[in-house]
Structure 1
Amino acid sequence: MPVIEIETIINAKKNIVFDLSRSIDLHKISTEHTNEEAIAGKTSGLIGLNEWVTWRAKHLGFYQELTSKITEFEYPNYFADEMVKGAFKHFKHEHHFKQTDGNTVMTDVFNYISPFGIIGSLVDKLFLKNYMKTLLLKRNKIVKEFAETNKWKEIL
Protein backbone atom coordinates (compact mmCIF):
# COMPACT_ATOMS: atom_id res chain seq x y z
CA MET A 1 0.00 0.00 0.00
CA PRO A 2 1.60 3.29 -1.09
CA VAL A 3 1.97 5.98 1.58
CA ILE A 4 2.68 9.63 0.83
CA GLU A 5 3.86 11.80 3.72
CA ILE A 6 4.30 15.55 3.29
CA GLU A 7 5.31 18.08 5.93
CA THR A 8 4.52 21.76 5.30
CA ILE A 9 5.64 24.57 7.60
CA ILE A 10 3.19 27.46 7.65
CA ASN A 11 3.68 30.79 9.39
CA ALA A 12 0.17 31.01 10.83
CA LYS A 13 -1.89 29.92 13.81
CA LYS A 14 -2.78 26.25 13.99
CA ASN A 15 -6.56 26.79 14.13
CA ILE A 16 -6.46 28.84 10.90
CA VAL A 17 -4.42 26.17 9.08
CA PHE A 18 -6.69 23.43 10.45
CA ASP A 19 -9.84 25.19 9.26
CA LEU A 20 -8.40 26.02 5.84
CA SER A 21 -7.49 22.35 5.44
CA ARG A 22 -11.08 21.26 5.98
CA SER A 23 -12.62 24.03 3.90
CA ILE A 24 -14.62 22.78 0.92
CA ASP A 25 -14.31 26.24 -0.66
CA LEU A 26 -10.50 26.31 -0.41
CA HIS A 27 -10.30 22.76 -1.76
CA LYS A 28 -12.19 23.95 -4.85
CA ILE A 29 -9.65 26.76 -5.32
CA SER A 30 -6.69 24.38 -4.93
CA THR A 31 -8.07 21.98 -7.53
CA GLU A 32 -9.22 24.43 -10.21
CA HIS A 33 -6.89 22.70 -12.69
CA THR A 34 -9.00 19.51 -12.41
CA ASN A 35 -12.37 21.29 -12.65
CA GLU A 36 -13.18 19.79 -9.27
CA GLU A 37 -16.56 20.57 -7.79
CA ALA A 38 -18.50 19.39 -4.76
CA ILE A 39 -21.73 17.88 -6.10
CA ALA A 40 -23.31 16.20 -3.06
CA GLY A 41 -23.13 16.12 0.72
CA LYS A 42 -21.30 19.07 2.28
CA THR A 43 -20.71 21.30 -0.75
CA SER A 44 -19.37 24.47 0.93
CA GLY A 45 -18.03 25.72 4.24
CA LEU A 46 -16.10 23.66 6.79
CA ILE A 47 -16.54 19.90 6.81
CA GLY A 48 -16.65 18.16 10.18
CA LEU A 49 -16.90 14.77 11.85
CA ASN A 50 -19.16 12.27 10.08
CA GLU A 51 -19.88 14.70 7.24
CA TRP A 52 -19.21 13.65 3.66
CA VAL A 53 -18.69 15.23 0.26
CA THR A 54 -18.86 13.87 -3.26
CA TRP A 55 -16.35 15.46 -5.64
CA ARG A 56 -16.49 15.40 -9.42
CA ALA A 57 -13.17 16.09 -11.14
CA LYS A 58 -11.16 15.37 -14.23
CA HIS A 59 -8.10 13.26 -13.42
CA LEU A 60 -5.87 11.55 -15.96
CA GLY A 61 -8.20 12.61 -18.77
CA PHE A 62 -11.39 11.15 -17.26
CA TYR A 63 -14.17 12.66 -15.16
CA GLN A 64 -14.52 10.76 -11.92
CA GLU A 65 -16.61 10.97 -8.77
CA LEU A 66 -15.24 10.32 -5.32
CA THR A 67 -17.06 10.44 -1.99
CA SER A 68 -15.08 10.91 1.20
CA LYS A 69 -16.18 11.16 4.82
CA ILE A 70 -14.53 12.73 7.87
CA THR A 71 -14.02 9.70 10.11
CA GLU A 72 -11.77 11.15 12.82
CA PHE A 73 -11.73 14.70 14.19
CA GLU A 74 -9.79 16.32 17.05
CA TYR A 75 -9.95 20.11 16.72
CA PRO A 76 -7.42 21.71 16.00
CA ASN A 77 -4.85 18.91 15.99
CA TYR A 78 -6.03 16.18 13.64
CA PHE A 79 -8.67 14.95 11.25
CA ALA A 80 -8.91 12.13 8.75
CA ASP A 81 -11.00 11.62 5.67
CA GLU A 82 -11.61 8.25 4.05
CA MET A 83 -13.01 7.28 0.69
CA VAL A 84 -16.52 5.87 0.86
CA LYS A 85 -16.98 5.49 -2.89
CA GLY A 86 -14.63 6.09 -5.81
CA ALA A 87 -11.89 4.83 -8.07
CA PHE A 88 -9.51 3.65 -5.34
CA LYS A 89 -9.93 0.34 -3.58
CA HIS A 90 -9.25 2.32 -0.36
CA PHE A 91 -7.79 5.60 0.79
CA LYS A 92 -7.28 7.40 4.07
CA HIS A 93 -5.90 10.93 4.29
CA GLU A 94 -4.68 11.95 7.74
CA HIS A 95 -4.13 15.64 8.51
CA HIS A 96 -1.90 16.42 11.53
CA PHE A 97 -1.26 19.93 12.92
CA LYS A 98 1.35 20.98 15.48
CA GLN A 99 2.24 24.52 16.67
CA THR A 100 5.99 25.11 16.97
CA ASP A 101 7.90 28.40 17.32
CA GLY A 102 5.05 30.50 15.94
CA ASN A 103 4.58 28.21 12.94
CA THR A 104 2.22 25.38 12.24
CA VAL A 105 3.64 22.10 11.02
CA MET A 106 1.01 20.49 8.84
CA THR A 107 1.66 16.84 8.07
CA ASP A 108 -0.34 14.90 5.51
CA VAL A 109 -0.26 11.11 5.57
CA PHE A 110 -2.08 9.73 2.54
CA ASN A 111 -2.30 5.96 2.12
CA TYR A 112 -4.26 4.22 -0.56
CA ILE A 113 -4.80 0.99 -2.40
CA SER A 114 -5.27 1.14 -6.15
CA PRO A 115 -7.83 -1.06 -7.85
CA PHE A 116 -6.89 -3.82 -10.29
CA GLY A 117 -4.37 -5.76 -8.16
CA ILE A 118 -0.97 -6.18 -9.82
CA ILE A 119 -1.85 -3.78 -12.64
CA GLY A 120 -2.79 -1.17 -10.02
CA SER A 121 0.55 -1.69 -8.27
CA LEU A 122 2.37 -1.17 -11.56
CA VAL A 123 0.36 2.02 -12.24
CA ASP A 124 1.35 3.25 -8.74
CA LYS A 125 5.03 2.79 -9.47
CA LEU A 126 4.84 4.26 -12.97
CA PHE A 127 2.93 7.46 -12.23
CA LEU A 128 -0.02 7.39 -9.80
CA LYS A 129 1.97 7.93 -6.58
CA ASN A 130 3.75 10.94 -8.10
CA TYR A 131 0.46 12.27 -9.48
CA MET A 132 -1.18 12.08 -6.05
CA LYS A 133 1.85 13.66 -4.35
CA THR A 134 1.76 16.55 -6.83
CA LEU A 135 -1.96 17.11 -6.10
CA LEU A 136 -1.26 17.23 -2.36
CA LEU A 137 1.68 19.61 -2.80
CA LYS A 138 -0.48 21.98 -4.88
CA ARG A 139 -3.19 21.87 -2.23
CA ASN A 140 -0.70 22.56 0.55
CA LYS A 141 0.78 25.49 -1.38
CA ILE A 142 -2.69 27.09 -1.51
CA VAL A 143 -3.34 26.40 2.19
CA LYS A 144 0.02 28.02 3.01
CA GLU A 145 -0.64 31.02 0.75
CA PHE A 146 -4.06 31.70 2.27
CA ALA A 147 -2.92 31.10 5.87
CA GLU A 148 0.13 33.36 5.64
CA THR A 149 -1.79 36.29 4.13
CA ASN A 150 -5.15 37.88 4.84
CA LYS A 151 -6.69 35.71 2.11
CA TRP A 152 -7.83 33.25 4.80
CA LYS A 153 -10.43 35.83 5.87
CA GLU A 154 -12.12 35.38 2.47
CA ILE A 155 -12.65 31.66 3.22
CA LEU A 156 -13.21 31.37 6.98
Structure 2
Amino acid sequence: MARFVLERVIAAPPAEVFAAALDPGLHVRSMARHGETMVEAPAGGVFSEGSTVTWRARHFGIPFRLRSLVFDIDPPRGFRDRQIAGPFGAFLHVHEFEEHPRGTLMRDTITFRSPFGPLGRLVDRLVMRTYLQRLIEERNDTITAEIEGRGRTLSP
Protein backbone atom coordinates (compact mmCIF):
# COMPACT_ATOMS: atom_id res chain seq x y z
CA MET A 1 0.00 0.00 0.00
CA ALA A 2 1.14 3.54 -0.72
CA ARG A 3 1.40 6.06 2.09
CA PHE A 4 2.29 9.71 2.65
CA VAL A 5 2.21 12.16 5.55
CA LEU A 6 1.55 15.90 5.36
CA GLU A 7 2.07 18.28 8.28
CA ARG A 8 1.11 21.90 8.72
CA VAL A 9 1.02 24.36 11.62
CA ILE A 10 -2.16 26.42 11.94
CA ALA A 11 -2.36 29.45 14.24
CA ALA A 12 -5.32 28.25 16.31
CA PRO A 13 -5.90 25.86 19.21
CA PRO A 14 -6.29 22.13 18.48
CA ALA A 15 -10.01 22.10 19.30
CA GLU A 16 -10.69 24.74 16.64
CA VAL A 17 -8.64 22.97 13.95
CA PHE A 18 -10.18 19.61 14.89
CA ALA A 19 -13.71 21.05 14.53
CA ALA A 20 -12.86 22.60 11.15
CA ALA A 21 -11.46 19.30 9.85
CA LEU A 22 -14.73 17.57 10.81
CA ASP A 23 -16.90 20.18 9.04
CA PRO A 24 -18.50 18.62 5.92
CA GLY A 25 -19.24 22.07 4.45
CA LEU A 26 -15.60 23.10 4.70
CA HIS A 27 -14.61 19.89 2.91
CA VAL A 28 -17.01 20.69 0.07
CA ARG A 29 -15.61 24.25 -0.18
CA SER A 30 -12.05 22.89 -0.26
CA MET A 31 -12.86 20.61 -3.22
CA ALA A 32 -15.03 23.08 -5.16
CA ARG A 33 -12.75 23.18 -8.19
CA HIS A 34 -13.25 19.43 -8.59
CA GLY A 35 -17.03 19.79 -8.40
CA GLU A 36 -17.11 17.61 -5.29
CA THR A 37 -20.52 17.43 -3.66
CA MET A 38 -22.15 15.39 -0.94
CA VAL A 39 -24.63 12.93 -2.39
CA GLU A 40 -25.37 11.60 1.09
CA ALA A 41 -24.63 13.95 3.98
CA PRO A 42 -23.91 12.73 7.52
CA ALA A 43 -26.91 12.57 9.85
CA GLY A 44 -27.45 15.97 11.47
CA GLY A 45 -25.13 17.65 8.98
CA VAL A 46 -21.97 17.05 11.05
CA PHE A 47 -19.54 14.18 11.30
CA SER A 48 -19.77 12.09 14.43
CA GLU A 49 -18.62 8.58 15.38
CA GLY A 50 -19.85 6.15 12.73
CA SER A 51 -21.03 8.83 10.29
CA THR A 52 -21.08 7.92 6.63
CA VAL A 53 -20.98 10.28 3.70
CA THR A 54 -21.06 9.75 -0.05
CA TRP A 55 -19.06 12.15 -2.20
CA ARG A 56 -19.39 12.73 -5.92
CA ALA A 57 -16.51 14.36 -7.81
CA ARG A 58 -14.62 14.42 -11.07
CA HIS A 59 -10.91 13.63 -11.10
CA PHE A 60 -8.81 12.97 -14.20
CA GLY A 61 -11.98 13.86 -16.13
CA ILE A 62 -13.73 10.80 -14.71
CA PRO A 63 -16.83 11.10 -12.48
CA PHE A 64 -16.84 8.88 -9.42
CA ARG A 65 -18.52 8.30 -6.06
CA LEU A 66 -16.75 7.51 -2.83
CA ARG A 67 -18.49 6.53 0.40
CA SER A 68 -16.58 7.11 3.63
CA LEU A 69 -16.98 6.11 7.26
CA VAL A 70 -15.75 8.45 10.02
CA PHE A 71 -14.52 6.66 13.16
CA ASP A 72 -12.15 6.76 16.15
CA ILE A 73 -13.15 10.35 16.92
CA ASP A 74 -11.05 11.56 19.86
CA PRO A 75 -11.57 15.32 20.35
CA PRO A 76 -9.41 17.31 19.87
CA ARG A 77 -6.63 14.82 19.14
CA GLY A 78 -7.87 13.18 15.98
CA PHE A 79 -10.15 10.95 13.96
CA ARG A 80 -10.03 8.63 10.99
CA ASP A 81 -12.03 8.11 7.85
CA ARG A 82 -11.88 5.27 5.39
CA GLN A 83 -13.47 4.39 2.09
CA ILE A 84 -16.22 1.77 2.41
CA ALA A 85 -17.19 1.95 -1.27
CA GLY A 86 -15.53 3.67 -4.20
CA PRO A 87 -12.68 3.72 -6.65
CA PHE A 88 -9.81 2.64 -4.37
CA GLY A 89 -8.88 -0.87 -3.39
CA ALA A 90 -8.31 0.67 0.07
CA PHE A 91 -8.18 4.22 1.44
CA LEU A 92 -7.54 5.36 5.04
CA HIS A 93 -7.06 8.97 6.20
CA VAL A 94 -5.76 9.51 9.76
CA HIS A 95 -6.21 13.10 11.04
CA GLU A 96 -4.09 14.13 14.04
CA PHE A 97 -3.92 17.45 15.90
CA GLU A 98 -1.20 18.32 18.41
CA GLU A 99 -0.46 21.45 20.41
CA HIS A 100 2.37 23.45 18.90
CA PRO A 101 4.06 26.67 20.10
CA ARG A 102 2.43 28.51 17.16
CA GLY A 103 -0.99 26.81 17.50
CA THR A 104 -1.72 23.33 16.19
CA LEU A 105 0.33 20.83 14.27
CA MET A 106 -2.14 19.16 11.90
CA ARG A 107 -0.94 15.83 10.50
CA ASP A 108 -2.64 13.88 7.71
CA THR A 109 -1.52 10.30 7.11
CA ILE A 110 -2.98 8.78 3.96
CA THR A 111 -2.68 5.08 3.16
CA PHE A 112 -4.20 3.89 -0.10
CA ARG A 113 -4.18 1.24 -2.78
CA SER A 114 -5.57 1.52 -6.27
CA PRO A 115 -7.32 -1.54 -7.69
CA PHE A 116 -5.92 -3.83 -10.40
CA GLY A 117 -2.92 -5.34 -8.60
CA PRO A 118 0.47 -4.59 -10.22
CA LEU A 119 -1.04 -2.04 -12.61
CA GLY A 120 -2.65 -0.22 -9.68
CA ARG A 121 0.64 -0.17 -7.76
CA LEU A 122 2.31 1.40 -10.79
CA VAL A 123 -0.44 4.04 -11.03
CA ASP A 124 -0.04 4.77 -7.31
CA ARG A 125 3.70 5.24 -7.66
CA LEU A 126 3.63 7.28 -10.88
CA VAL A 127 0.49 9.42 -10.50
CA MET A 128 -1.86 8.83 -7.59
CA ARG A 129 0.44 9.68 -4.65
CA THR A 130 1.31 13.11 -6.09
CA TYR A 131 -2.30 13.78 -7.08
CA LEU A 132 -3.67 12.88 -3.64
CA GLN A 133 -0.98 14.93 -1.89
CA ARG A 134 -2.06 17.94 -3.94
CA LEU A 135 -5.75 17.35 -3.07
CA ILE A 136 -5.02 17.12 0.67
CA GLU A 137 -2.84 20.25 0.46
CA GLU A 138 -5.76 22.10 -1.21
CA ARG A 139 -8.05 20.95 1.59
CA ASN A 140 -5.51 22.05 4.19
CA ASP A 141 -5.07 25.43 2.46
CA THR A 142 -8.82 25.98 2.84
CA ILE A 143 -8.82 24.94 6.51
CA THR A 144 -5.89 27.27 7.20
CA ALA A 145 -7.39 30.21 5.30
CA GLU A 146 -10.78 29.86 6.98
CA ILE A 147 -9.34 29.56 10.49
CA GLU A 148 -6.56 32.12 10.22
CA GLY A 149 -8.73 34.41 8.11
CA ARG A 150 -11.05 34.89 11.07
CA GLY A 151 -8.45 37.26 12.47
CA ARG A 152 -7.44 34.83 15.18
CA THR A 153 -3.72 34.57 15.91
CA LEU A 154 -1.77 33.08 18.76
CA SER A 155 1.31 34.60 20.36
CA PRO A 156 4.60 33.36 18.88
Tell me the TM-score range normalised by the shorter chain: over 0.9
- 1:103 corresponding residue in structure 2: 103
CA 1:28/1:151 → structure 2, altered by over 3 Å: closer, same or farther? farther
What is residue 31 of structure 1 aligned with on the other side? 31
Question: Which residue does 2:142 correspond to in 1?
Answer: 142
For structure 1, which runs of at least 5 residues remain unmatched after alignment? none
Aligned residues: 152
Taking structure 2 as the reference length, the TM-score comes to 0.93
Match of 1:120 in 2: 120
Q: Name the CA distance, whole Å, in 2 between partners of 1:93 and 1:8.
A: 15
Are the equivalent residues in 1 in contact too, given 2:80–2:92 (CA < 8 A)? yes
In structure 2, distance between residues paired with 1:44 and 1:4: 32
Paired position in structure 2 for 1:87:
87
The structural deviation recorded for 1:99 is: 1.1
Partner residue in 1 for 2:15: 15
Q: CA deviation at 1:46?
A: 2.6
C-alpha contact (below 8 Å) 1:67/1:85 kept by paired residues: yes
Measure how far apart 1:126 and its partner are. Answer: 1.4
Give the Cα–Cα distance (whole angstroms) in 1 for the partners of residues 31 and 151 of structure 2: 17
One-letter code aligned to 1:131: Y
Q: Deviations over 1:81-109 (max 9, x none)?
A: 01100000111100000012141000000
Cα 1:44–1:134, aligned 2, differ >3 Å: closer, same or farther? farther
RMSD: 1.6
Identity of aligned residues (%): 30
> Matched residues in 2 for 1:130 and 1:86: separation?
19
Match of 2:77 in 1: 77
CA distance in 2 between partners of 1:85 and 1:151 (Å): 39
1:151 Cα deviation (Å)? 8.1
Q: Could you list the per-position Cα deviations for residues 34-82 of structure 1 after superposition, in whole angstroms to 9, with x for gaps in the alignment?
A: 1000011417743111001000000111110000001211011010001
Aligned AA (2:117): G
* 3-state SS of 1:147 partner: helix
- The unaligned stretches of length 5 or more in structure 2 are none
Runs of 4+ in structure 1 off by over 3 angstroms are none
